Amino acid sequence: MAKAKTLKKPKSSSPNTLKKFNPNERLLLNKKLVAEVLVDALIQNDIETFRDVLISHLRALPKTELAKKTGLGRRTLYDLMENEKFDPRLSTLSALLSKIAA
């Protein structure tokens, strides 16, 4: 049985097949817009949108500065950004939302 020929150099994938999504950071830093979207998501009982927008907003902000303003620890902020563990206390959400809306 003859041996199958293989290419010595692997094919490279096209650089345009997948594009990394870069959210517009200016929109995520706009406190008024973020607050409106969060309130609208709560009114519509859409917890997924609320979670996604809050996490994206938190990722765009400097964590040390946010921790000082809210009185929360940086570890708490990083735990909030992990999608699997999104189950914050009401006091945590209150501290975050008051600083976002202010």
Distance CA 55, CA 81 (A): 5
- Within-domain flag for 73: yes
- Within-domain flag for 67: yes
Q: Which helix (H) or strand (E) holds 60?
A: helix 47-60
Range of the domain at 46: 25-101
- Within-domain flag for 71: yes
- Within-domain flag for 9: no
Q: How far apart are the first and last CA of the chain?
A: 76
Q: Which helix (H) or strand (E) holds 61?
A: none
- Within-domain flag for 94: yes
- Within-domain flag for 17: no
The segment with the largest mean pLDDT, out of 3-12, 78-87, 92-101, is 92-101
Each residue of 13-58: pLDDT tens digit?
A: 556 665 555 666 777 778 888 888 888 988 998 888 888 888 888 8
- pLDDT confidence tier of residue 77, bands split at 50, 70 and 90: confident
- Within-domain flag for 81: yes
Number of separate domains in the chain = 1
Residue 65 near residue 72 (C-beta atoms within 8 A): no
